[in-house]
Amino acid sequence: MLEKVRRQWTRNGIVYVFLVPVLIHYVIFQVIPFLFSAYLTFTNWSMVGTPKFIGLRNWQIFMSDSVAWRAIENTCLFSLYYIIPTMVLGLILGLLLNAGLKLANFYKAAFFLPVVTSFVVLSGIWAWLFKGTDYGLVNFLLAKLGIGNQLFFSDPHQALAVLAGLSIFKVSGITMVYYYSGLRSIPSHLYEAAKIDGASSWNTFRRVTFPLLLPTHFYVAVVTTIGSFQIFDSAYLLTSGGPDHATTTIVYYMYDIGFRTMRFGYASVVAYVLFVIVLLISLVQKRFLGKEVSYY
């Protein structure tokens, strides 16, 4: 055993040395806060003084907190509005870029611009575009088409979808890059073989491109899912969780409970519920999307 350890150290010692700072950082900034937060779920704490132990009271409150359950429902609905369109749009943009269009570099930069633009700036633009009176640009255009004024952020049935639209607009540039990279990694001889076999474009996409992008699908699905469950900025900036809690998401509610009411114990409960939901979804995604596909 000792000989094995000595051989490992001799072969890989320098690797372990470089890992030490990362491990220290991980323990201090991830593991310890994770465990401290777990402890806080059983306490009442306002960030000052010692947390007061209250047992399972916070968890009991959560079970009967209708706003918390509404927040979970809203977040799941937001994910439905957000994940698939982001993936589809990213795939389409990736395919277009990979098709060798003229000015591809320009389009790459243009589609990626929202990714590097501040959320505050994008929210300001979105607020003007989707203003719920005839002064908003979208309502102005809809009026030209004979469609009546839409309330958008003030309509509980539309507000969440409009916020999802903003997130899709912001993030599609990144998913485009992921899919573009994935497409570039597919060996060209597979396309040549498909061509020789007389496959149509659609069949080539269905039988070659799409399946071989499975690792990319999995990665994009996991990343966009995690991102969708962390949605906060747009709800905070544009709707403050309204109207009537229609856009209150889990993270927004967690922030609201923590920093407005100063009940960090209860906010930690909400955080843990979020963690469990995202973990379960990631495991399901791994089960169905985490398979390797190979034509070798």
Partner 1 sequence: MIRKSVLAIISSIVVLTLFISGCSSSKETSSSSSSGGSSSGGAKGKITVWVYPFLGDGEAEQEKKMWDDIKAGYAKENPNAEVDIVTNPWDNREPKLLSAISAGEGPDLFYTNPDYVVKFADKGIIAPITSYLKDFDMNDFTESSLLTTKYKGENYGLPLLQSVVTVFYNLDMVKEIGEDPNNLPKTWDEFDKWAAEAKAKGHYAINFEGGGAPNIFIYPLIWQEGGDIIDSNGKVVVNSPATVAAFTHLNKMYTNGWIPSDSITSKDQQVDFRAGKFLACISDSVLYSKMLKEPPSFKYGVGELLGNKKQVTYGTTGSLVIPHNAKNKDGAVAFMKYLTGPEASKTFNSITKYLPARKSAYSIFNGDKTMLKFAEQSQHTLPGILNPIGPNVNSFATAEVQAVLLQKKTPTQAASDFEKDLEGELKKEGQ
Residue ranges in contact with partner 1 by CB under 8 A: 10, 13-14, 17-18, 20-21, 24-25, 44, 46-49, 52, 54, 57, 61, 131-133, 135, 149, 151-154, 156, 159, 238-245, 255-256, 258-263, 266
C-alpha 231/C-alpha 225 separation (Å) is 10
Other CB atoms within a 10 A radius of the CB of residue 137 amount to 12
Q: Which is nearer to partner 1, 156 or 215 (CB)?
A: 156
Q: Token match 């255009």: residue?
A: 141
Nearer to partner 1, 229 or 264 (CB): 264
Task: Retrieve residue 149's tokens.
Answer: 């004024």
Minimum Å gap between C-beta 154 and partner 1 is 4
Q: 1 or 14: whose CB is closer to partner 1?
A: 14
Which residues are CB-neighbours of 38 under 8 A, at least 6 positions away?
268, 272
Structure tokens at 123: 């929210």
The smaller minimum CB distance to partner 1, of residues 25 and 184, is found at 25
What are 44's strand-pairing partners? Answer: 52
- Closest by Cα among 283, 272, 266, 286 to 67: 266
**Least distance (Å) from partner 1 to the CB of residue 265?**
9
User: In angstroms, rounded to a whole number, what is the distance separating the alpha carbons of residues 174 and 177?
Assistant: 5
- At closest approach, how far in Å is the CB of 229 from partner 1? 20
Do the Cβ atoms of 271 and 251 come closer than 8 Å?
no
Minimum Å distance from CB 42 to partner 1?
12
Buried b (16+ CB within 10 A) or exposed e, 163-196: bbbbbbbbbbbbbbbbbbebbeebeeebeeebee
Residue 58 or 79: which CB sits closer to partner 1?
Answer: 58
Q: By C-beta, is 178 or 264 nearer to partner 1?
A: 264
Least CB distance to partner 1 at residue 99 (A): 41
CB of 260 to partner 1, least distance (A): 5
